[in-house]
Amino acid sequence: EELRRDPVGTGRDVARFLKLERSRQDIRRALRHASLERARVQERREGFGEVSPHAPRFFGEGTMGGWRKKLSAAQVERITLACAPMMQRFGYS
């Protein structure tokens, strides 16, 4: 979500966390190379080893909140119960 809201700023924060000094240009280039669309193209061309045998592809829609259309109420409740402390920590309560 942060990457969607502010890709370059979030990329800069990640680089700082990793103690990497990178220019805005470097961060923009890294973001282009790591884009969801680029990953989808690569998956179509070469496959992707992590794809589930139960799914047509690994990389999905990539939309914020897309889980609301995919998960049942029971699945959401199960995830919420299992991950409540972490969700609260990151402001998802």
Q: How far is the CA of 80 from the CAs of 21, 59, 63, 77, 93, in angstroms? A: 37, 23, 20, 5, 9
Q: At what angle do helices 24-33 and 7-17 cross, to 10 degrees?
A: 100
pTM: 0.65
Digit-coded pLDDT (tens) for 43-66: 999 999 999 999 899 998 888 888
* Tokens read off for 56: 């047509």
pLDDT band at 92 (very low <50, low <70, confident <90, very high): confident
Q: What is the spatial distance between Cα 47 and Cα 58, in angstroms, rounded to a whole number? A: 9
What residue has token string 């990329």?
11
